[in-house]
Amino acid sequence: MQTATKTVLVGLSAAQLRAWVSETFGEPAYRGTQLAKWIYQKAVTTFEQMSDLPAALRARLQEVAVISPNTISVIQRSRDGTVKSLLRLADENEVECVLLPYDDRVSVCLSTQVGCAMGCRFCATAQGGYTRNLTASEIVDQLLHLQRLSERRISHVVLMGMGEPLLNLENVVASLRLIHDEVGIGYRRITISTVGIVPKIYALAEYDLPITLAISLHAPDDETRSKIMPVNRKWGVDALIQAARDYFEKTKRRVTFEYLLLREVNDTPWHAQELARKLRGVPCLVNLIPFNYVPTPEHFQRPEMARVQRFRQILEQAGIEVTQRVERGHDIDAACGQLRGKHRGKPIPLALQPR
């Protein structure tokens, strides 16, 4: 990628950087390996910091290249350590990314598109519509910006921010290769979250990457699911669960089903029983996410703890493994699309719940 005059280096692999330094400066290829280490492993922001490069080369790099054309425009820090930021891209679009430090890991949540076309009824991002896909460079650059804000090394990546990753599959896979090969985070520590674009689940399986696939199911039946997720009108629950089975057959990686609990919408014992029935024999994990109340046109409500427990119990009694998402960043704009909407000065009309 090039800005108006300069080559952007974030997004180039070590092999591409080796070829580039040779062609551009006639330098030995190992200079490209050094560049890759500074950019992806040390996450530096200037050529000046690349202390093992000769000063003359650093000066020439400065003239013809930039590490990244993107900047951080907003940073919000939560008392629980969560850091949410907006990355301003070269074309002035903005995307959200989040740093989530836990005791045993440091995770980041990255965006894959500017906006989103999926229209989930509980999501703030959906309200702004879709603008464009992010490039692999822009996806990996979110991680590098967050690394600079973190005292500890980032260990896990989830593609669960703005956008539907499987509708930007080529760039997403290219970004995962950079995160794996250049940053050094293993595929097993990477999760892609999808609303369930069935043909793209099969396409992802063909890449045979040992990542985790998380499917936002949120209802076990088409009637309920179509009300909260318009995508269900195109690919229904049964086709989606079959795709999860086939994904396991192909990759031997069990799928995580995300399930956002909305009181009296999808959290009744019937929904739990129906979910248990449909997931019988599917190698999977169900992650329950009680809705975090904010006003919505549908008046979605958070279920009481007793309802969550009952839902969980029904699944567990049916032999399904269940986890419950640890909620973070309550004192900041922690949900997908919330910070971006606020920063643009627009009111946030809908629920602010990450999927």
Name the residues that contact ligand SF4, by CB under 6 A: 116, 118-120, 123, 125-126, 162-164, 195, 336, 355
Q: Give least dist CB 238 to ligand SF4, A.
A: 20
Strand-pairing partners, residue 216, are 258
Task: Look up 120 and say whether it is catalytic.
Answer: no
CB nearer to ligand SF4: give 96 or 182: 96
Q: Give least dist CB 263 to ligand SF4, A.
A: 19
CB nearer to ligand SF4: give 163 or 341: 163
Give dist(CA 99, CA 193) in Å, integer: 17
Q: Give least dist CB 125 to ligand SF4, A.
A: 4
Integer-rounded Cα Rg, in Å, for the chain is 21
- The owner of tokens 């996410």 is 289
Q: How far is CA 56 from the centre of its chain?
A: 39
Q: Give least dist CB 299 to ligand SF4, A.
A: 19
Give dist(CA 131, CA 86) in Å, integer: 16
| DSSP symbols for 54-111 | -HHHHHHHHHHEES-S-EEEEEEE-TTS-EEEEEEPTTS-EEEEEEEE-SS-EEEE--
Give dist(CA 130, CA 297) in Å, integer: 21
User: Which among 308, 309, 250 has a CA at the least distance from the CA of 283?
Assistant: 250
Q: How many CA atoms within 13 Å lie on the side-chain side of 164?
A: 23
Give dist(CA 196, CA 214) in Å, integer: 9
Q: Give least dist CB 46 to ligand SF4, A.
A: 33
User: Which among 143, 121, 22, 9 has a CA at the least distance from the CA of 69?
Assistant: 9
Catalytic residue selected from 96, 138, 182, 258: 96
Give dist(CA 225, CA 203) in Å, integer: 23
Q: Give least dist CB 9 to ligand SF4, A.
A: 29
Give dist(CA 176, CA 105) in Å, integer: 19
Task: Look up 27 and say whether it is catalytic.
Answer: no
CB nearer to ligand SF4: give 167 or 176: 167
Cβ-contact 117, 345 below 8 angstroms: no
Q: In terms of DSSP bridges, do strands 71-77 and 83-88 run parallel, antiparallel, or are they unpaired? A: antiparallel
Q: Give least dist CB 166 to ligand SF4, A.
A: 10
CB nearer to ligand SF4: give 17 or 86: 86
Q: Which residues are catalytic?
A: 96, 336
